[in-house]
Amino acid sequence: MAATSVVVLDRGNNTTCTVNLFGATVVSWRVNNQEQLFVSKQAVFDGKRAIRGGIPFVFPQFGQWAFGPQHGFARVARWHVEKLPERLPSGDVEAIFSLMDDEFTHSMWHFQFRLTYRLILREKELHFNIGVYNPSKELTFSCQLLLHTYFKVPDVRRCQITGMHGCMFIDKTREGAVYQETREVVTINEWTDRIYQNTMQEHIITNVVSGRKMRIQKYNFPDTVIWNPWSEYAKEIPDFGDDEFPNMVCVEAGRVAAPIVLLPGTAFEASQILQVM
């Protein structure tokens, strides 16, 4: 198989979603032929390095990891197609991907697990349903889970993001100090790397592609990470253009502040819906 095999969900009317099986990374989501996701012009598609942009799947670790790559192995593992894209009676298109433990994952993490990732492409929406299963008879494991969504925007300085007011956040640009968000809407004018905890179930980002709004609805994802490397850190990322930071914002639904704990034979489910308004 090529380093970058892709699966395309096509709803018609130039509305598509492209999933790279390397990491089950959503690398494109077009609504009426307008791309909604940011992928760096310098992204590497070699089947080794995580893809810089789109929607990388973060599991079982968020951030630095003593036992393996940053943000875990799911985004650098080859996923299986459980169900090829299929048109539903509604006209929407569904595909299902899965990842199970194997020699590659055991080299970093000795637990048995199974992930399922179900995508449904609607007219102006993309739905994500995630299942994490622990098939072990005796071992409990804990993990983190996050969808590292890179939204494409004309100018991040003009975006406003709702749903964080009153929430506590860990500021990774200030050595992990904890603050409370007092703003009604979050704006980005500098290097930003924050883990907002117990955020609202809905965020709206203004001024995305074509000046529209993007709605994020999430279930069982209590945390929201907001990231933009700004000019100083863009220069330090080899697979990211020095001048690309104004054209992206990461708003990432996840469960990272407190880990998911899965007893033997149990499952965890979470979901996200992105909607162009």
Q: Which residues pair with 169 in a beta bridge?
A: 179, 196
Residue 70 assigned ligand-binding role? yes
252 is catalytic: yes
From the candidates 71, 94, 148, 203, give the one annotated as an active-site residue: 148
61-76: burial string, b at 16+ Cβ within 10 Å, e else:
bbeebeebeebbbbbb
Q: Which amino acid is at 213?
A: K
Please identify which residue in the block is written with the tokens 């077009």: 30
Could you tell me if 98 and 63 are in contact, meaning their C-beta atoms sit under 8 angstroms apart?
Answer: no
Among 71, 94, 244, 252, the active-site one is 252
Would you state the structure tokens that stand for residue 189, as one six-digit string? 């004018």
Q: Is 52 annotated as a binding residue?
A: yes
Which among 194, 193, 198 has a CA at the least distance from the CA of 221?
198
Query: Is 244 annotated in the active site?
Result: no
- 75 carries a ligand binding annotation: yes
Report the C-alpha gap between 206 and 156 in whole angstroms: 10
Known binding residues for substrate are 52, 70, 75
Known binding residues are 52, 70, 75
The catalytic site residues sit at: 148, 252
